[in-house]
Structure 1
Amino acid sequence: MGFNIFKNRKVDKLVIKGLQYVDDNPALALEYFNKALDLTPNYGVAWYNKGNLFYRLGKFNEALEHFDKSIKLDSNDMNHWYGKCLSLYALERFDEALKCYNQALSIDDKNALIWYGKGNVLSDLKRFDEALECYNKALELDPYDTGKLNNRGNMLKELNRLDEALECYNKALEIEPEDALILDNKGNVLSDLKRFDEALECYNKALELDFEFAYAWYNKGSALNNLNSFKDALKCFSKVLELDPDDSDAWAFKGSISNKIGHFKEALEYLEKSLEIDPEDEETWLEKGKVLQKLKKYNESLECYNKALELDPDFEEALEAVENLSKFVEFWSTNQS
């Protein structure tokens, strides 16, 4: 989002002065914008640029107020609507953002950024088919933008159109071969296609470019787990936790792998840590129940399975676990007596 073109020469100098300080001294920039508005309170460009400044500062509610003001003064300027769209999106007010993008498109339906932004909103609303249509439209207008190609690939992946998603990521990487995010996303599609060795190549390349890319470490660990390279997978998840100690999924994955290789004490420790962070994850409760069952702590194991079912009453694997454990305990009790 850029700053607006000037229309009122009387206050242009003040606004231009403010723009000079946007990056280095936002407080001074704000002072100049306010001076411009003191002189001409109905100058939409000044309201817009002030809103843009608040947006850049992460003050999205204030930005929204200023974009609303600029729209009242000039409702046909697409830039003002776009600023409002971005602010609503940042505030996760997705339904309102979608209406805003539609309004912006009614003014300018040849703007790739607007189509792209609308696609992002629809993606967050889980309306993936519609999001894909928007990304397609954005790429018709701007076919070499790697961000748009990446998001189009993401939507194709969500729709399980994996070969098309892979093609999309490959096209993006032809344009920008050293984009760690796109390499990571390509790796994820290859993992979904069970092409784990190729996925690892992507993750390794992404990590060469950004050694502290936690998602790539996590996804590399997942691929290694699928290749039964458990020790290397554990190292990857440990790296994730160095970067983000509160990643409950990484703790859970460490617990699951430790369970697989018979390190039950460590598995239980990792799973409990995961549940401290996210006690609402039914799969982690199930995994903890499996570990406790192997440790012959049957009552505690059953409690974990039941907790998983509290969170998801239709969780088939947990239902089976309860049934099987109940049968085993009954059989064991009968034979003991």
Structure 2
Amino acid sequence: MFRGNSLDKTIEKAEKYFKKGDLYKARNMYLKALAQDPKNIGVLNNLAFIYHVLGDDATSKGYNEILLKECDELLKRETVKEILILKIPALVFLEKTDEVMEVLEEILKIDSKDVNALFQKSYYLEKNKRHREALDCIEEILKKHPYHIGSLLSKGRNLVELNEFEEAEKCYNLVFEIDPKNKAAINLKSQLIKKKYKVTLTSHDMMLKAVESFEMENFKASRDYFKKALDMNPEYDEIWFAQGELFIRTGYIGDAIESFKKAFEINPASGGIVKHKEFFKLLDRMKKINTILGFEEKE
């Protein structure tokens, strides 16, 4: 009884250090826990991860190999989903791809709707160019979680590989409605346009630079890149909408209103905003305040 309480306290301390990002102290506490319980698969898993992050892949490999051995021993007695899940990162690290697929299939036998298992399975299928099968997995996720961004991006990638560009673009556009400045969607849409139209530079390349500049609070550069993007192609609502957010951030409310209006002309669902009237009422109030303060020109 005492030993169990002592082990739990040691693991609890390790987890606190781990959450704080103090990996060296977390490692030391996990090593102490492992001395108390050498077959603890949770501790083995965390040690393997920590050593990998710390750059000691040789030691990480050793812990991953022990972890797999202990998981397999436990699975001989009973097939438990949580134990199967712990095997996956170890198998990935040890590059045992075929075994990863086997474990994912076992998890899906237990729970056919497991989102993480379906998502990982789709990733390995995509990697092996089995795009239709990957799409089947993704569709299962989207039935239950239609706005799962990772799945929408994966669906788009697989559709592009099948040259189904219009359907792929719909996936990326839906991501923009959820997250107007999603960099993965911007990059993937740029790749789609390049493949579809055989071009080397797109407006979305400029948009990506604009968003990155925005994030670094280099607003002048961001504005310049948005202008270049829209000069190249003014037909994408996500670029207008993202530019509108920049203008709000920098206090140019009149310009923001015009940019959002352009976005909504192209796509009424741009930015995921449905109540446009209330949205523009708010912006108009902000513009009036700015005009009084002298930040906007009187019309």
* From 173, 198, 203, the counterpart of 1:204: 173
In the alignment, structure 1 residue 151 sits paired with structure 2 residue 120: yes
What do you get for the CA RMSD once the two structures are aligned?
3.1
Secondary structure at 1:227's aligned position in 2?
Answer: helix
After superposition, the Cα gap between the structure-2 partners of 1:124 and 1:99, relative to the gap in structure 1 and judged at 3 Å, is closer
Structure 1: any 5+ residue segments left out of the alignment?
1-6, 13-42, 246-260, 262-337
- Deviation per CA, 1:159-210, whole angstroms, max 9, x where unpaired? 1111111101111111211110111011111111111111111111122222
1:64 corresponds in structure 2 to: 27
Give the whole-Å Cα distance in 1 for the aligned partners of 2:202 and 2:194. Answer: 8
Whether the aligned pair in 2 keeps the contact of 1:181 and 1:206 (CA below 8 Å) is no
Taking a change above 3 Å as real, the CA distance of residues 46 and 135 of structure 1, as seen in their structure-2 partners, is same
Change in Cα spacing, 1:225 to 1:191, as seen in structure 2 (3 Å) is same
What does 1:107-122 align with in structure 2 at a 5 Å threshold? 108-109=74-75, 110-122=79-91
Give, in angstroms, the shift of residue 91 of structure 1: 4.2
**1:65 maps to amino acid:** N
In structure 2, C-alpha distance between the alignment counterparts of 1:168 and 1:47, rounded to whole Å: 40
Displacement of 1:141 in angstroms is 3.3
Distance 1:229 1:127, change over 3 A: same
**Mapping 1:225-264, distance limit 5 Å:** 225-228=194-197, 234-244=202-212
* Deviation sequence 1:4-55 (CA, Å, 0-9, x none): xxx549x97xxxxxxxxxxxxxxxxxxxxxxxxxxxxxx2111111111122
Counterpart AA for 2:179 = D
Find out whether 1:102 has 2:68 as its counterpart. yes
| Cα gap change, 1:237 to 1:100, in 2 (>3 Å) | farther
Aligned residue for 1:220?
189
In 2, Cα distance between the equivalents of 1:62 and 1:200?
Answer: 47
- Measure, in 2, the Cα distance between the counterparts of 1:58 and 1:66: 13
Secondary structure of the 2:46 match is: helix
The higher radius of gyration belongs to 1
Describe the shift of the 1:243–1:130 C-alpha distance in structure 2 as closer, same or farther (beyond 3 A).
farther
Alignment match of 1:54 (pick from 3, 11, 17): 17
* Structure 2 unpaired stretches of 5+: 214-231, 233-299
Confirm whether residue 190 of structure 1 aligns to residue 153 of structure 2.
no
2:157–2:188 CA contact under 8 A, matched in 1: yes
* TM superposition score normalised by structure 2: 0.61
Q: Deviations over 1:67-123 (max 9, x none)?
A: 121121123443333433443454463523531431441453334344334323433
Structure-2 residue corresponding to 1:140: 109
Deviations 1:250-272 (A, max 9, x none): xxxxxxxxxxx9xxxxxxxxxxx
Equivalent residues in 2 for 1:26-65, closer than 5 Å = 43-65=6-28
For the pair 1:131 / 2:94, whether they are aligned, the reply is no
Deviations 1:246-305 (A, max 9, x none): xxxxxxxxxxxxxxx9xxxxxxxxxxxxxxxxxxxxxxxxxxxxxxxxxxxxxxxxxxxx
The two structures have a TM-score, normalised by structure 1, of 0.54
Contact kept in structure 2, 1:89 and 1:121, CA below 8 Å = no
What is the distance in 1 between the residues matched to 2:54 and 2:112? 29
Shift of 1:225: 1.8
Alignment partners' CA distance in 1, 2:174 and 2:24: 39
Task: Tell me by how many angstroms 1:65 deviates.
Answer: 2.0
> What is the number of residues matched between the two proteins?
210
Provide the C-alpha distance between the structure 1 equivalents of 2:54 and 2:117, rounded to a whole number of angstroms.
22
Q: State yes or no: 1:80 paired with 2:43.
A: yes
Distance 1:88 1:180 in 2: 30
More relative contact order, 1 or 2 (CA 8 Å, 6+ apart): 2
Percent identical among aligned pairs is 20
